[in-house]
Amino acid sequence: ETGVTQTPRHLVMGMTNKKSLKCEQHLGHNAMYWYKQSAKKPLELMFVYSLEERVENNSVPSRFSPECPNSSHLFLHLHTLQPEDSALYLCASSQGATGGILGYTFGSGTRLTVV
Amino acid sequence: KQEVTQIPAALSVPEGENLVLNCSFTDSAIYNLQWFRQDPGKGLTSLLLIQSSQREQTSGRLNASLDKSSGRSTLYIAASQPGDSATYLCAVHYGNNRLAFGKGNQVVVIP
Q: Are B42 and A101 in contact (CB under 8 A)?
A: no
Per-residue pLDDT tens digits for A9-20: 999 999 888 999
Contacts of residue B24, Cβ cutoff 8 Å, sequence gap at least 6:
B4, B5, B6, B7, B71, B72, B73
Other Cβ atoms closer than 10 A to B110: 11
> Which of B4, B32, B103 has its CB closest to that of A99?
B32
User: What is residue B84's three-state secondary structure?
Assistant: helix
> 68-107 in A: which are within 8 Å (CB) of B?
88, 90, 92, 94, 97-99, 101-107
Q: How confident is the model at residue B90 (pLDDT cuts 50, 70, 90)?
A: very high
From chain A, the residues in CB contact with B101 under 8 A are 42-43
Q: Are B33 and B91 in contact (CB under 8 A)?
A: yes
For residue A1, pLDDT over 60 is answered with no
Per-residue pLDDT tens digits for B33-58: 999 999 998 999 999 999 999 999 99
For residue B20, pLDDT over 80 is answered with yes
